[in-house]
Structure 1
Amino acid sequence: MSALLRAAWLDITESLRARWFGFYALVFGGIVVVLFVFGLTESRILGFTGLSRLLVTYIQLCVAILPIFILITTVRSVAGDREAGIFEYMLSLPVPLSAWYWGKMVGRFSVVFLPVFLAMAGAAAWSSFQEIGVPWDLFAVYTALLVALAWSFLGFGMLISALARSSDVAQTGAFLLWLVLLLFLDLILLGVMVRDRMPLELVVSLALVNPLQSFRTAAILLFDPQMVVLGPAAYVILDSLGAKGYLAFALAWPVCLGTLAAWTGYRVFRKGDLP
């Protein structure tokens, strides 16, 4: 455990010194500032006002921005160390491979999630100072959803990084994965299945396997309990799982998927030719 924590702290300190982290933190902090400047806390949509309105917009932006940031920055971890020749130095030290791999993942999760959470926490603190209503229950659920989404794509990133032999290949694989998941968002490609008269339950199930879709649908559910924008798919989700059941699924499934991907990457990492 001590070796894992040291590996995690090493990854955190390296990331904090990197230029991409400053840009990454500026993006999410800037989003919140821009939303405040445009007065979204004073607008109303579907009965949501105050910080609730800002959180609704912020969470939708995170769907598009957060996954690609996590993938691109994570895939360079293992592949980049392999290219830089760090493995030879690492293998000469009394550090288990498991501690190095999982420590790097824990450290990277801390780095990618911290700016996202601090931006939300800063918005909540400013709203409290301005005596704007803060929906703490909604804040907690959104935070949990962001944790699940970040962990999922972090696992994908570690798997791609372990499989790729170079940083360029890893970045290309990360971009292709993000593009495929984005294309399946809102059942775009699954429209072919609907046209071929496949069962609606099967179509919806295939769509929700996509962590982006499950996250976005859960975000919609929080401000639109009937999920009117999803059409008939909403009836399948609500009749099968219910609102609370689907929220539990949207939190658990990405975490399980990310953990499985990371574990697969670890097995590949152990059996591969490290140097």
Structure 2
Amino acid sequence: MENLVLIALLDMKESLRARWFLVYSLVFGGLIALFFVAGVTESQVMGFSGLSRLLLMYIQITIVILPIFILVTTVRSISGDRDNHILEYMLSFPLSLSHYYWGKILGRFATVFLPVFFAMVLALLIGVLKGASIPWSLFLFYTGLLFALSSAFLGIAFLISSSVKSSEVALGLSFFVWIFLLAFIDIILISLMMQNRFSEELIIAIALINPMEVFRVAAISLFDPELTVMGPVAFYILDNVKLVYFLLFSIAYPVCLGLLFAFLGFKIFTKNDLI
């Protein structure tokens, strides 16, 4: 356990020294500052105003930004150590593969999740100073969503990093996964739905396999409980699943998916050539 914590702390220190972490933190912190400067908390849309409105805009933007940041900065975690011969050096110590792998995951999770979380905390603090009411239920739920989305894409990133030996290939795969999940699946499913090749239930079920889609629907469900902006997807979800169950699913599913990918990556990491 001590080696696990040491590897996690070492990865966190390396991340803090890297320029990507500074950019990563400034992006999300800058978004909060920009929202306040633009007067987002003063506007009202569909009954949401103040910090609720700000958090809703923030969570929608993170759907696009957070996954690609996690993938790009994490896929080189193991493959980069292998390219720079750091992995060979680390394994020369009395260190087990499990401690190295899971320590890297814990350290990287802290560096990708905490800046996003602290940006929301910053929004609450500024809102309190301005006399705004704090939407605690919305804040806690969105914290769970961000935790779940970070877990899912961290697992995907470590699976890619463990499967390839070149950091350039890992980076290319990360962009492909991000684009595929962000846009390509929706385009394919919409075209299949329009051509009536498959049932709507099957198409929507396939769409909900995508963790980004689950995140998006869950975030919109609190902004628009009737999910009117989702079109036919709304009717299927509301007719077959209670909203509270879907909200729990939107957090549990990405976390389980991330753990599954992380374990698959660990199996590949231990079976492949390490150097």
TM-score normalized with structure 2 length: 0.98
Hey, what does 2:201 align to over in structure 1?
201
Q: In the TM superposition, what is the alpha-carbon distance from 1:195 to its structure 2 partner?
A: 2.5
Aligned residue for 1:257, secondary structure, equals helix
Q: Following TM superposition, by how much is the alpha carbon of 1:240 offset from its aligned partner in structure 2, in angstroms?
A: 1.6
Q: Which residue of 1 aligns with 2:48?
A: 48
Deviation at residue 180 of structure 1 after TM alignment? 0.4
In 1, distance between residues paired with 2:45 and 2:113? 28
Q: Quote the offset at 1:191 in angstroms.
A: 1.4
CA distance, structure 1, for counterparts of residue 115 and residue 254 of structure 2:
20
Q: Distance in 2 between matches of 1:66 and 1:92?
A: 35
| 2:220 is the alignment partner of 1:220 | yes
Asked if the contact 1:238/1:246 (under 8 Å) is kept, the reply is: no
CA distance in 1, matches of 2:187, 2:55: 26
Matches of 2:199 and 2:252 in 1, distance apart? 25
Q: How many residues align?
A: 274
1:26-37 matched pairs, under 5 angstroms: 26-37=26-37
Residue equivalent to 1:5? 5
Per the TM alignment, residue 252 of structure 1 is displaced from its structure 2 partner at its CA by: 0.9
Return structure 1 stretches of 4+ with deviation > 3 angstroms: none
Give CA-to-partner distance per residue, 1:74-106, whole Å, 9 cap, x none: 001000000011122122111111011011001
Shift of residue 262, structure 1, vs aligned partner = 0.8
How does the TM-score come out when normalised to structure 1?
A: 0.98
1:188 has 2:190 as partner? no
Q: Which runs of 5+ in 1 are unaligned?
A: none
Q: Deviations over 1:238-262 (max 9, x none)?
A: 1221110110111011111111111
Report deviation, 1:184.
4.1
Instruction: Supply the AA of the counterpart residue of 1:61.
Output: I
Q: State the AA in 1 paired with 2:188.
A: L
Which secondary structure does the structure 2 equivalent of 1:120 belong to?
helix
Conservation of the 8 A alpha-carbon contact between 1:184 and 1:207: no
* Contact 1:44–1:53 (CA under 8 A) maintained in structure 2: yes
The amino acid of 1:216's aligned partner reads R
- Using the alignment, how far apart are the partners of 1:261 and 1:174 within structure 2? 14
Q: Deviations over 1:47-85 (max 9, x none)?
A: 001000000100000001000000000001000000011
In structure 1, the residue matched to 2:211 is: 211
Amino acid of the structure 2 residue aligned with 1:78 = I
Residues 32-181 of structure 1 mapped to structure 2, 5 A cutoff: 32-181=32-181
Q: Distance in 2 between matches of 1:87 and 1:172?
A: 21
Q: Which amino acid counterpart does residue 192 of structure 2 have in structure 1?
A: M
d(CA) in 2 for partners of 1:131, 1:56: 19
Q: Distance in 2 between matches of 1:90 and 1:117?
A: 31
CA separation in 1, counterparts of 2:201 and 2:94? 52
> How far does the alpha carbon of each residue in 1:115-152 deviate from its partner, in whole angstroms, 9 at most, with x for none?
10111001001111111111011000000000000010
In structure 2, C-alpha distance between the alignment counterparts of 1:149 and 1:199, rounded to whole Å: 28
Q: CA deviation at 1:223?
A: 1.1
Q: Residue by residue, what CA displacement relative to the aligned partner does 1:161-203 show, whole Å, maximum 9, x if unpaired?
A: 0111111000000000001001146x32201221232211111
SS of match in other structure, 1:55: helix
SS in 2 for 1:189: helix
Partner secondary structure for residue 270 of structure 2 = helix
In the alignment, the residues of structure 2 paired with residue 127 and residue 177 of structure 1 have an alpha-carbon distance, to the nearest angstrom, of: 36
Question: What code does the residue aligned with 1:257 have?
Answer: L
Instruction: Decide whether the 8 Å contact of 1:101 with 1:266 is kept in 2.
Output: yes
